[in-house]
Structure 1
């Protein structure tokens, strides 16, 4: 059984990542809230991707659900002590924390996600990404309606970019998140979709499905950008930075191409700093 007692004191600082760079533009109190949300997400994600048997991972995730409920009721356990004040201060919704956990449970099933139907992938993206966005926009201080639309589109854009970046890493653990409909339309045979992630990752028609999924991601980036153009002030800077960095990553992935062998792609430190400088002055 996984030992989740070590999470009693969650880290309140993210590593030197795109997330950390984007959060630098926030005031200290809002930045602390975002790091606490990040720490929660990191903790449950580590369980979902951990080496324990699926039943043990699911049990550990349900313990996190119970702890979230306690924190939302004003009785936070020690491992959520850093997050609890922000739940109250920003009105963070219990349902969104639950959605994140539900998304992690999708990754902790006995059979890994492999060529899911498009609606299942969309539900997964909503839980593991858009729900985090719904928590985040409360911290950023965006109006409710625009915040929900932004969370919907930017969350999906970021998650689809992650899926395209991590095809081979995911295949190594039996996962293939590209939707079945795109794979079949691209020419990946049904028997290959059923065979498993390893065969999907090596199929010569996979690049065509990747092109289509990248186009979906770009549409979500464009819709998120449309919302953010109405919020040029402090509340829009952090999500604008995150979107810019990940959109640059998607552009690099597309330039590299999707055929095997796929070299690892990232947005370099200098480019990330340039994006930070460019968007900080907006």
Structure 2
């Protein structure tokens, strides 16, 4: 997600206190909540490197330092900024490779801005920046190994695709275009210049298959969550409902220019939390 990192990434890009992530995680028991906010903090800090306007070489050095720090954490001598993580890693069996996958995903935007990736690259990006976060999260929630990984696969991709669709214009403003190359060509768009693409009349044709893909992932995630007691999947269900509501607003608005920003209002967010956390 995912969680929501930035213009294109599931809610660590929002201020924590106002984000869907924060609302969903506040309902967890203390040990789970602490672990999830550690994951949140890690994602946020790595994402801040990827999205900063500093020299790319310096950002690559900074992102590599996070790899080194994660290695040190799993060797039992974490740096100061990860010392509190050791208990959560051991308690919930958090995997080193998932932390590293998140770093790899954030790094994909550093050497050069992503522009019209092919579908395979887009799926890899979604897996790293969203589903890998989900794989850490489902271990905290206590889901079984196989179904937890499957839920992370589908829900992470659903959230990330929704973010991409929501943030087309914002991403273009910083030189990024996450819409897949194949979909652009199918719509007759040959340019990969983000600012040109967002003004194309055929842009809704590009977005339609991504909407359908996100909806399919949401449906499959729901199927998995229905097999678990509500208390075990309250947090991921809140995230799912929040982002599905955003996707519905995007579809209702449409993708033709000009596009007004889409956000859930406070009442809608509160209704989702009340319904799926307490009712």
Pick one of 34, 37, 43 that aligns with 2:36. Answer: 34
**TM-superposed deviation, 1:27:** 0.5
Higher relative contact order (CA 8 A, sep 6+): 2
Pair 1:57-2:54 in alignment: no
The one-character-per-residue Cα deviations of 1:228-260 (angstroms, maximum 9, x if unpaired) are: 000133221110110000000110111111111
Conserved in 2, the CA contact under 8 Å of 1:14 and 1:39? no
2:229 equivalent among 222, 227, 232: 232
Provide, for residues 68-122 of structure 1, a one-character-per-residue CA deviation record: whole Å limited to 9, x for no partner.
111111111111123222111111100000000000110111x211010000000
Q: What's the CA shift for 1:185?
A: 1.2
| Among candidates 260, 273, 277, match of residue 276 of structure 1 | 273
Matches within 5 A, 1:88-107: 88-107=90-109
Q: CA deviation at 1:14?
A: 3.1
User: What is the CA distance between 1:184 and its match in structure 2?
Assistant: 1.2
Name the counterpart of 1:21: 23
1:263 matched to 2:265 = no
> Where does residue 251 of structure 1 map in the other structure?
248
Partner of 2:17: helix, strand, or coil? coil
Tell me, in whole angstroms, the C-alpha distance in 2 between the residues paired with 1:274 and 1:33: 26
Q: For 1:44-83, what aligned pairs fall within 5 Å after superposition?
A: 44-83=46-85
CA distance in 1, matches of 2:185, 2:269: 36
Q: After TM superposition, which residue ranges in structure 1, 4 or more long, deviate above 3 angstroms?
A: none
**TM-score computed with the length of structure 1 as normaliser:** 0.92
Aligned mate of 1:209, from 198, 206, 211 = 206
Distance in 1 (alpha carbons) for counterparts of 2:277 and 2:42: 27
Q: Hey, what does 1:185 align to over in structure 2?
A: 186
- TM-score between both structures, scaled by the size of structure 2: 0.92
SS at match of 1:251: helix
The answer for the alignment partner of 1:173 in structure 2 is 174
Q: Distance in 2 between matches of 1:91 and 1:72?
A: 11
Paired with 1:128 and 1:206, the residues of 2 have a C-alpha distance of 25
How many residues were matched structurally?
A: 265
Query: Aligned partners of 1:198 and 1:82: how far apart in 2?
Result: 43
Structure 2: 5+ residue stretches without partners: 1-14
CA RMSD, 1 decimal: 1.2
Mapped to 2, the partners of 1:91 and 1:229 lie a distance apart of 24
Deviation at 1:281, TM superposition (A): 3.8
Does residue 197 of the first structure (1) align with residue 166 of the second (2)?
no
